[in-house]
Structure 1
Amino acid sequence: MCGIVGVLNLQEPQPIPETVLPQMLAMIRHRGPDEFGIYRDEWVNLGNARLSIIDLSGGQQPICNEDETLWIVFNGEIFNYVELRPQLEALGHRFTTNCDTEVILHLYEEYGVDCLNYLNGQFAIAIWDTRQRSLFLARDRLGIRPLFYTLCQGQLIFGSEIKTILAHPRVCAAIDPAALTQVFTFWTVLTPHTIFQDIYSLSPGHYLQVQDGQLNIQRYWELDFTPEASQRTPQDYLDEFEQLLIDSTLIRLRADVPVGAYLSGGLDSSTTTAIIRQYAQNSLETFSIAFSDPEFDESEFQRRMADILGTNHRVVYCTHTDISRLFPEVIWHTETPTLRTAPAPMFMLSRLVRDSHLKVVLTGEGADEFLGGYDIFKEMAIRRFWAKQPDSQWRPLLLKRLYPEISRLSRSSEAFVQAFFKKNLTDTESPFYSHIIRWSNTARLQRLLVSKPEVGLLEWAEKLVPLQSNFSSWSPLAQAQYLEIVSFMSPYLLSSQGDRMAMANSVEGRFPFLDYRVVEFCDRLPSNVKLRGLTEKWLLRQLSRKLLPPDIWQRRKRPYRAPIHRSFFHQDTPDYVLELLSEDAVRASGLFNPLAVNQLVRKAQSGATLGEVDDMAIAGVLSTQLVDQQFVKTFNSRLSSLTTSDRVKVIDRTVEQIH
C-alpha cells in the first residue's frame, strides 16, 4: 500500500522544479513511510510513498518495463498477481522484482487499458508511456483507493490525497458551496466532485488517459444488478457463495508481513475471521473498538467472538473526550466535511494496529451493501408494501419490527413517526424511492447554509446521481443497493471511514466482500436470497451458521455509530470547538448562517436531548469549519518536504542519469 503523486505538462515540455514532488510526497508520508521514489523527465514527474507489504526488498517504485519505455507508480494491492505473472512470462515478459506492481506494468504493456479487466484488487495506478508521451491513470472498480486530480496552468496534477495537490505551488484551496450542499443532503460529496473547487476525484471503475494535452475519461466496469436468466436453488447459491468468499478471504492474506483482522462483533467481520481461522494456518491478531458510552458499545460480542475463535485480541477504548480531541486530526485526513464522528474511533483502531506492529487488516465492509444488510433496504420494502394500501392501519405497524424504539413512543409521537415514513409513500416509480426520506431528512440541514440549491431535491438528485441505462429494469432492492453504493459506500464509507482512517496510521485495509467476483455474484442474486422478508443478509446467515454460534449469526444488524454532541459538549469541551463555532468564526468562513449555528450551539450546551438531525448538524458545521481552517486558511503552515534521512530513489531522465 502506498500513495502516489504526479505532475504532467499538457502542452509542451517545461522544467518542473525539483522541490515540487518531494513536497507533494511529504504530505502523504503517513501513506507510505518506508521509502520514496521519484521519476522525472521533461514532460512528467511521478512520485510514490511506499508502505512495503509485498517484496519488501525489491519492490521500490517507480518501476519500469524491460526497455524503460513504461514507468509506473501504484497505490494498492493486486491479489491475483501470483496467477497473472506466469501467464505474462509465457508471453515473453521478463521481471526484475517479485512485486504486484510490476505485474500491472507488463499487463498494460501486453493489453493496454484492457489490463484493468484482469486485475483483482484495490488500486490507483499511474503509468507513463515515454514513446507515446501518454499518461494512464486508473482507479479500482469500487473506489477502495482514492485518486484526485486538477488542471492548473497547463498542467495535470494528481495524487492519492487532495493535500498532495494543494502542496503544488500553483494550487490553492477554495471550498465549493455547491459541494457543501451535497454533504448536507447526501452525507457526502458525490464523485467526481470534491469539497474543493476545480479538484476532482476519478470515479470508481474509471480510467483517465492523457495524450497531446487531451483528457479522455472512460468507464471500464459498472455495477449490473440484472439477475440470472434462470434461478437456481438456495443451496446452489450458497455453495458458490461459500467458495467465492473463502477464496476472496484467503487471497487477501497474501503479504510478506503479518495480516490481522477487525472484529466488530457483527456478522460480517466474524464470518471472514472465522474463515481465516478455519482455512489458514497462521496465528491471527484481531482488533476492535469499545465505547465508554453503552449506547454504542458492542464489546461483549467482540470478546465472545475472539474467545470462540482463539485470536490474540486487542481493544481500543473510546470516550467522548477522545473523539473531540482527535476530531481536527481526523478531518485533516478525511479532507472533507462529515456529518458523523464515526471516523474518529476508526482512526484510534488503526493506530492500535500500527502500535501492534501490523500493517494489514481484513475488514467486513461491503456485506451490507451487496447482501442487503441495511435498515434502509427493509424500510423501503415495508413502505412499498404499505403503498399498495396507503390507508391501511396495520401495514405501517411493520415499522415497529424495524425500529423497536417506536413501540416505546407515545401515541402522538407514534403518529408523527408514521407521518414521517408516509412522505412520498405512493411515489414508488421514482428511481430514488428508497433514499428520498433519508435525503429529505438530511436536507433540513440546509437551513444552516448560506448557499442552497436552486432546484428541488429530486431534480437535483437526477443531476448528481448517475443512473445506468438498465436501472429501471432492476428489482426495487437492487435499485436501493445501487443508490447506497454510489452515493454512500464509495464516496464516504470507503473513503472518510475506510482508506483515510487506516492510512492515516500506515495501515492497509482489505475487504473480502468487495472482491469483484463476490460483488458480481451478489449483484445477480434474486432479491429474496439477500433480503428474505425482513431478514437481512439471508444468504450470508446460511453460510455463517456453519461457522458461528447462533447468537452471532442470528443477531440483528446493528449499525456502527459513534456519539456526536456528547463528544463535543461536556465538562472538558476543547477550545477549538467553541472558537470555530463562534459567531465571528462562522461569519469569517462565509459558509453558514451565524444565527442558526448559534442557536444550535446553545441547544447543545443546554444539555437538551438532541435528535439525529441536530447531531449531524453539529458534526457537519464543525468539520466544515475545520476544513476551512486547515486547508483554506492555514494550509501553507503545514507544508513540509522529504529530508536527507528519507530513503528516496530518484530516476532523472531529464539528464539521462540515475541517482
Structure 2
Amino acid sequence: MCGIAGYFELGSPTPPDKDLVRRMVGSIRHRGPDEFGAFFDNRCALGHARLSIIDLAGGSQPLSNEDGSLWITYNGEIYNYLELRKELEASHHYFRTRSDTEVIVHAFEEWGAKCLDRFNGQFAFAIYDSRDGSLFLARDRLGIRPLFYTQHGGRFYFGSEIKALFAEPSILRQIDLKGLDETFTWWTTAPPRTAFMGINELPAASYLKIQNGKYNTKSYWDLEYPETYNRQRSAASWAEELHELLVDSVRLRLRADVPVGAYLSGGLDSSATTSLIRHFTDTRVETFSIAFHDKAYDESKYQQQMSDYLGTRHHQIKCSYRDIAEVFPAVIRHAERPILRTAPAPLYLLSKLVRDHEFKVVLTGEGSDEMLGGYDIFKETLIRRFWARNPDSAWRPLLLKRLYPTLPLSAARARFYLETFYKAGLEQIDEFHFSHIPRINTTSKVKDYFTKDVQAELTDYDPLKAFKRDLPNQFYSWHHLARAQYLEAKSLLAGYILSSQGDRMGSAHAVEGRFPFLDHRIAEFATTVPPLYKIHGLNEKFVLKKAMARELPPEITKRVKQPYMAPDSNSFVQEDSPQYVSEMLSEESLVKTGLFNPLFVQKLRDKCSRLSHAHLSFKDNMSFLGVLSTQLLVDQFINNPPEVNIIDRKKFKVWHDQSIEAAEQHRG
C-alpha cells in the first residue's frame, strides 16, 4: 500500500512545478507515511508516498531502470515478483534492489504492456519513458488499487486518490449529477465516471498510454464465463482444485518483510484465509475483528470460537452508535464518494486497531462471495426466475422460507413485503440487470429526495446504461448466475467493496489489505465452476465449503451466512449524536448544497429518529445515509476543503531532478 501522484505535460515542456508535487504527495501521505519521493523533468513529475513492506531499505520510489530512461511510481504488490525476477535475470536484466517495484520496470522494458498479463497482484502504477516522451498507467485486473486522472490546462494529472488531483487549486471541484444518479442506482459510478465532474477513474484491468499529447485506454483482461460447463467433473474434483489454488494464493500473499495479520469476521471466508496461513508459519497468527454493542449486528461469539479453534492471538474493537457517527466524516473524506451504508466506518476503526498493534498487512476474505456465489442476490435471482416462469407455484412461499429461515412467515406483513419485493421486475427476466432489479429499486429511493431542479437535470439520463455499455458480446449467452456474478464484480465489488470498504479504509491508517480470493487464477477458475456447485439448492459457496471441510469445523462451514452489516441511520439519531449531523441536514446546509429537498429530508430524519432499525426499511436507511454522505462530501471537498498538507523538501528521501533548470544550476 502506497500513494502515487504526478502530472504529464501534454504540450511543450515546461519547468517542473515542484511545490505542486509536494502538495499532491502531502494530500495522500496517510497511504504511505514511511518515505516520500519525487522525480522531475520538463515533461513529467512523479510523486510517491511509501508504505514499506518489501525491501525496507532499498525499495524507495520513484525508481528507474539501469540507464535512468524509465521511471516508475507504484502502489501495490506483485506477488510473483521473485519468479519474474529470475526470468528477467536470465534475459540479462540487472537489479539493484530486492523490491517488486524494480521487477515491474524491467518487465515493462522486456514485454511492454504485455507485462500486465504476467503479474499476479494488486497494483496501480505510472511509468514515464523519457526516450519517447510517453507515460504509461495501469491498474490491476479486479480494481483492488485505485487510480484517478484528469486533464486540465494542458496537463494530465493522476493520483491514487482524488485528493491528489485537487492539490492543483485550479482544477474544478463540482459534483457530477450523473455520477450521483449512478451511485444511487448501483451503489457506485461506472468508470471512468466518478462523483466529481471531470475527474476520471481508470477502470480495472485497463492501461492508459499518453504520447504526442494524446491518450487512449485499453482493457487487457476480463472475467469470461463459458456458454456450457463440464458437468461430468465431480464436486470433489472442483473443490480439490480450489483448495490448491487458495493455498498457493495465500502463500504468495504472505510475502513481506513485515509481519502479516488477518481479519477474522467469524464467517467462512476470513476463517478460510486465516486457516490457510497456518500452512506456512509456526508463529501464532494475529487476527483482528469488529464487534458491536448492538447485538443485532454482533458476531463476536463466532469470531472468538474461530480464534480459539485456530489458536490465533485475537484483537477486537467494539463499535457503538456514537463511534460510527464520530468517524463518518473521516470515512467520507477517504471514500471520496457518497455511500449508502455505514459498513465502512467500523472497518476504518478496525484498520486503526491493526496499525495500533504495529501491523501494516492483513489478509482478508473479500472476493469469495462475488467469485463463488455467496451473496443473497444470487440466490434471490434463482428464486425470482422460478417465480417468473412459475407464477402459480405453491413453492413460492417455501422458497422464501428456505432463503430466510429465521423469517416469521406467519407474519402476514413480513411475507407480503418480501413477496412484493421479489416480484419486482419479473417481467424483465431477459434484461441484463434482472438479477439486480430489487437492489436497484431500493437504492433508487434516494433520488426521491432530490430537488426538482436536480430531477429535471437528470430527466434524460438513464443510469442503467452505465454498466450496460461495456458488457461482453457473449454476455446474454451465459448462465443467469454468471450474468449476475459478472455484473456484481463490475459494480459492487470494484466500486464499493474494494474501494469504500477496502482500499480506502485500510489506507486511511496505512494498512494494506491482501485478498487471496481475488488472485486472478481463482477468479478465472471460478468462472468455469458449474453454477450447481456454487449454489447447490440454496446452499451458497458449496464448492468452497467442500474445499475447506478438512480445514474448518462444521460450525463454520454449515453456519447460515450472515452478511457484514453495521447500524445505519440509528447511529446518527441518538441524543449524543455529533453536532455535524444537524448541521449537514439543516435547511440552510441543504439549500446551499442544492441537491436535496429540505422538507423531504426533515421528514425522513424525523422518521429515522422515531423508529428503531427493526422497523425502518432498507430504503429509508439508504436514503438517510445517501443524503448525509453526499452533504459531507460536498462540505469537505467543495464548500470547506481542508488546507493541503504540503511536505517539506527535506522529508523527501528521493528527489531526482532531471529538468533543464536543474542541469543549468548544476553547471553554474
Superposition TM-score, scaled by structure 2 size = 0.96
* Aligned equivalent of 1:631, options 626, 637, 640: 637
SS, match of residue 464 in structure 2: helix
Distance between the aligned counterparts of 2:584 and 2:169, measured in 1? Answer: 27
Aligned length: 657
Aligned match of 2:617: 611
Q: Match for residue 650 of structure 1?
A: 655
In the other structure, the counterpart of 1:153 is: 153
Looking at structure 2, the residues matched to 264 and 530 of structure 1 have their Cα atoms a distance apart, in angstroms, of 21
Residue equivalent to 2:211: 211
Give the whole-Å Cα distance in 2 for the aligned partners of 1:207 and 1:575.
44
Contact 2:181 2:447 in 1 (8 A): yes
CA distance 1:229–1:547, shift in 2 (3 Å) = closer
* 1:588 corresponds to 2:592: yes
Contact map agreement 1:8 1:43 (CA 8 A) in 2: yes
Partner of 1:540: 544
Question: SS where residue 77 of structure 1 aligns?
Answer: strand
- The 1-side partners of 2:608 and 2:275 are apart by 43
Q: Quick one: distance in 1 between partners of 2:291 and 2:392?
A: 44
Which residue is 1:598 aligned to?
A: 602
Partners of 2:410 and 2:651 lie apart in 1 by 60
Counterparts of 1:371-450 in structure 2, within 5 Å, are 371-408=372-409, 410-450=411-451
Q: Is the 8 A contact 2:443 2:619 kept in 1?
A: yes
Equivalence for 2:505: 501
Deviation at 1:645, TM superposition (A): 5.7
More off after superposition, 44-53 vs 173-182: 173-182
Amino acid aligned to 1:378: K
Name the aligned partner's letter for residue 616 of structure 1. M
Aligned mates of 1:456, 1:613 — CA distance in 2: 24
Q: SS state of the match for residue 401, structure 2? A: helix
Superposition pairs of residues 308-323 of structure 1, within 5 angstroms: 308-323=309-324
1:171 aligns with 2:145: no
The 1-side partners of 2:373 and 2:354 are apart by 29
- Distance in 2, matches of 1:252 and 1:427, equals 42
Aligned residue type for 1:572: D
Q: CA deviation at 1:415?
A: 2.5
Counterpart amino acid of residue 506 in structure 1: A
The 3 A distance-change label for structure 1 pair 589 and 456 is closer
- Residue 276 of structure 1 is matched in structure 2 by 277
Match for residue 569 of structure 1 among 554, 573, 592 = 573
**Partner SS, residue 19 of structure 1:** helix
Alpha carbons of structure 1 residues 462 and 108: separation in structure 2 relative to 1, 3 Å: same
Check the 8 A contact 2:297/2:566 in 1, yes or no: yes
- The correspondence for 2:526, drawn from 504, 522, 530, is 522
- Partner SS for 2:93: coil
User: 2:139: which partner in 1?
Assistant: 139
Say if 2:64 and 2:72, in contact at 8 Å, map to a contact too. yes
Structure 2 CA distance for partners of 1:427 and 1:66, relative to 1, 3 Å? same
Question: Could you tell me which residue of structure 2 aligns to residue 125 of structure 1?
Answer: 125
Is the CA contact (8 Å cut-off) linking 1:386 and 1:396 kept in structure 2?
Answer: no
Shift of 1:236: 1.9
Determine if the alignment matches structure 1 residue 70 to structure 2 residue 70: yes
The more displaced of 530-539 and 428-437 is 428-437
Question: CA offset at residue 181 of structure 1?
Answer: 1.5
Mapped partners of 1:83, 1:219: distance in 2: 25
Question: What is the match of residue 556 of structure 1?
Answer: 560
The range that moved more, 157-166 or 6-15, is 6-15
Task: State the shift of 1:454 in Å.
Answer: 4.9
Quote how far apart the aligned CAs of 1:641 are: 0.5
Q: CA deviation at 1:575?
A: 0.6
Structure 1 gap ranges (5+): none
Paired residues of 1:259 and 1:361 also in contact (CA < 8 A): yes
Query: Is the CA contact 1:227–1:523 (under 8 Å) kept in the aligned structure 2?
Result: no
Q: Per-residue CA shift, 1:363-398, capped at 9, x if unaligned?
A: 000000000000000011111122221122332431
Taking a change above 3 Å as real, the CA distance of residues 384 and 455 of structure 1, as seen in their structure-2 partners, is farther
Is the Cα–Cα contact under 8 Å of residues 382 and 396 in structure 1 kept in the other structure?
no
Letter in 1 for 2:318: Y
Q: Which residue identity does 1:115 align to in structure 2?
A: C
Question: What amino acid is the match of 2:235?
Answer: P
> What's the % identity of the aligned pairs?
49
Aligned equivalent of 1:45: 45
Q: Which residue of 1 aligns with 2:235?
A: 234
Aligned to 2:476: 472
C-alpha contact 1:3 1:160 (8 A) present in aligned 2: yes
Q: Distance in 2 between matches of 1:26 and 1:75?
A: 16
Q: Is the 8 A contact 2:243 2:548 kept in 1?
A: no
Give the whole-Å Cα distance in 1 for the aligned partners of 2:250 and 2:228.
25
Counterpart position of 1:2:
2
Is 1:264 matched up with 2:265?
yes
Q: 1:640 aligns with which of 631, 642, 645?
A: 645
* Alignment CA distance shift 1:101-1:300 (3 Å): same
Matches within 5 A, 1:292-311: 292-311=293-312
Q: Which moved more, 1:531-540 or 1:416-425?
A: 416-425
Partner of 1:18: 18
- Contact 2:273/2:365 (<8 A) preserved: yes
Name the amino acid aligned to 1:207: Y
Mapped contact 1:390–1:426 kept (Cα < 8 A): no
Is this contact kept in 1: 2:332–2:338, CA < 8 A?
yes
Code of the residue aligned with 1:152 in structure 2: it is H
Aligned positions of 1:479-490 closer than 5 A: 479-490=483-494
Deviation (angstroms), 1:545: 1.3
3-state SS in 1 of match to 2:223: coil
Q: Aligned partners of 1:345 and 1:266: how far apart in 2?
A: 17
* Deviation digits for residues 562-589 of structure 1 (CA, Å, limit 9, x no counterpart): 0011100112011100011011100100
CA RMSD of aligned residues (A): 1.6
Deviation of 1:413 (Å): 4.1
Which residue of the partner structure matches residue 194 of structure 2? 194
Q: Report the counterpart of residue 291 of structure 1 in structure 2.
A: 292
Match of 2:369 in 1: 368
